[in-house]
Amino acid sequence: MNPSVLFVCVHNAGRSQMAAGWLSHLAGDRVEVRSAGSAPAASVNPVAVEAMAEVGIDITGQRPKILTVDAVEASDVVITMGCGDACPIFPGKRYEDWQLDDPAGQGIEAVRPIRDEIRARVEKLVGELSATP
């Protein structure tokens, strides 16, 4: 069974969407990818969409989703990005909190380094998941 990863940020419009896009791109169907937000926005941040398009990853079809207990329970790894105490904690899950700048309201020049930092972290995560039996 493939591992599953849930990316969570407040609005599920920028960081978590870019992380999900990277993980889907880098791991393909070897990992089940989910993303959600504790207070989802109406749509994905257009600057995040543009930043990902620059590296050949299309996240235009994604929509912000509300974080559910079921999504957390069904995931092996839960990666939070500034959602604070809104994330339910279940024993036996792997949790990581990635401190990343929020791309909301920022221009493309500010979002590119966030995108690249997320890629580096996702690449490390893929390596760790691949090494797990």
Nearest to 24 by CA among 128, 133, 131, 125: 125
Residue 98 bears catalytic tag: no
Separation between Cα atoms, residue 55 and residue 38, nearest integer Å: 28
Residue 87 bears catalytic tag: yes
Separation between Cα atoms, residue 15 and residue 9, nearest integer Å: 7
The one-letter code for the residue type at 74 is: A
- Written as six digits, the tokens of 76 are 């092996």
Strands 94-97 and 32-37: unpaired
The active-site residue out of 5, 9, 118, 122 is 9
Separation between Cα atoms, residue 13 and residue 3, nearest integer Å: 23
Residue 51 bears catalytic tag: no
The active-site residue out of 83, 111, 114, 118 is 83
- Written as six digits, the tokens of 111 are 């979002």
The active-site residue out of 19, 57, 87, 118 is 87
Catalytic residue IDs: 9, 83, 87
